[in-house]
Amino acid sequence: MTSPTLTRVSRLASAAFVAAALIGATSAQAADRTIRIGFQKYGTLILLKGKGTLEEKLKPLGVTVKWAEFQFGPPLLEAVNAGAVDFGTTGEAPPIFAQAASAKLAYVANDPPSPKAEAVLVQKDSPIKTLADLKGKNIAVAKGSNAHYLLVKALEKGGVAYSDVKISFLAPADGRAAFESGKVDAWSVWDPFFAGAEAAGARVLTTGEGIVENHQFFLTSRDYAKDNEDVLQIALDELRKVEDWVAKDPNAAAAELSPLVGIPAPLLTVAISRLGLGVRPLTPDVAAAQQRIADTFLELKLLPKPIVVEDAVLKLKTADVAK
C-alpha cells in the first residue's frame, strides 16, 4: 500500500512535469513565431530593416523577423493574400484590388497624404503641354498601383476619356526603360522613380497635388492579426519612431537609405521631402477616400466586383499607434 506522503509527492512531481511540459511547449511556440515583412526598395520599412530595431524589440517575445523585397505594391499584397507575407506597405490602389481578391486583407494603419510624391511625366522636349494633350497617347503605368489611380484622375481632369489613351501596363523598371527610349509618350509613377526621372530631365506634366491624396497604407492578413496583434503593434510603434526621425532629419535619412537602395542621397532627399510621415490608425475619412478609389476602378470595369473598404479596416485592441 502506497503511503499518503508518497502519493502527494507523486502528484506534485506529476504537476511539476506537466507545468514544465507546458512551459516548454509555450516557449517552443513563442520561438516559432515569425513576422514576414514585405517591403519595397524605398520608404520607411526599408529604413526599419536597416536599423534592426524591430528584431531587438521582438527578440524577447521569441519572434523572428523575415524580410522580402517587392518591386511594387500589387505583388506584395498578392503575397499577403496567399499567406506568404504577414505585413507590408503599399500605396492606395493596391489594397483595393487585393481586397477584391480576398477577404483576408486588413488595413492596420496609414501615413498622411503624399500627393506631391507621384507624377505624370513627359520628356522635356515633348509636344505634350497639358493633360488634354494626352488624348491618343501611349502612357506607361504599373497596373493597380497608386500611379494608376493618379493617371485615371489626371485624365479626368484634362477632359480625356480613359478609353482615349493607350495604357502600357509596365512595372517601374520597365516603365522607365520604355519612357527613356521613347516607346511611350508619358509615364505615371511615384518616388523615387519620379525623382530620378525628374533629375534626368523629364518634365512634370502634373503631380498628384489637387488631384489625389496618395496615402501609404500598412496592411496585414486577418489570419495573422488574429494571434499576433502584439507583434503588429510593436512593428507599428517602431515604424513610427523611424518616421519621426526621418521627419526631423531628412538628410540623415537619405544618407542612410542611399546605400540600401542604390540611389544617390540628393535624389532621396528630394523624394523624402514629398513624403507624408506619421503612422496613424485609419479614420473614417481615409476609409471613405479609399472607397472613392474603389468605386472609380469599378466604374472603369478595372475592379472585378464591388467592395466595402470599411470591412477591411482592422482596429487593433492594443495601444493606439499614434502616440
Residue 1: per-residue pLDDT: 42
Residue 284 included in any domain = no
Looking up residue 161, the CATH number of its domain turns out to be 3.40.190.10
97 shares its domain with 134: no
Residue 315: per-residue pLDDT: 87
Count CB-CB contacts under 10 A for residue 199: 13
Question: Whose grid coordinates read 540611389?
Answer: 263
225 shares its domain with 196: no
Question: Whose grid coordinates read 502600357?
Answer: 168
pLDDT of 14 > 70? The answer is no
308 shares its domain with 183: no
Residue 318: per-residue pLDDT: 54
19 shares its domain with 162: no
What percentage of residues in the chain have a pLDDT greater than 70?
Answer: 89
- State whether the Cα torsion 191-193-195-198 is positive or negative: negative
37 shares its domain with 25: no
121 shares its domain with 85: no
Residue 291 included in any domain = no
Residue 29: per-residue pLDDT: 42
165-192, pLDDT tens digit by residue?
A: 999 999 999 999 999 999 999 999 999 9
Residue 285 included in any domain = no
Q: How far apart are alpha carbons 126 and 314 in whole angstroms?
A: 45
Beta strands per DSSP E along 181-248? 186-190, 203-207, 217-221
pLDDT of 138 > 60? The answer is yes
Domain that holds residue 5: 1-31
218-265, pLDDT tens digit by residue?
A: 999 999 999 999 999 999 999 999 999 999 999 999 999 999 888 999
Residue 26 included in any domain = yes
Residue 277: per-residue pLDDT: 96
The number of distinct structural domains making up the chain is 3
- Mean pLDDT rounded to a whole number for the chain: 89
Better-predicted residue by pLDDT, 84 or 315: 84
230 shares its domain with 178: no
67 shares its domain with 125: no
125 shares its domain with 185: yes
Please give the average per-residue pLDDT across 114-122, as a whole number: 97
62 shares its domain with 3: no
98 shares its domain with 220: yes
Better-predicted residue by pLDDT, 18 or 293: 293
Q: How far apart are alpha carbons 65 and 57 in whole angstroms?
A: 10
- The radius of gyration of the chain from alpha carbons, rounded to an integer in Å, stands at 24
271-283, pLDDT tens digit by residue?
A: 999 999 999 999 9
Residue 63 included in any domain = yes
249 shares its domain with 106: yes
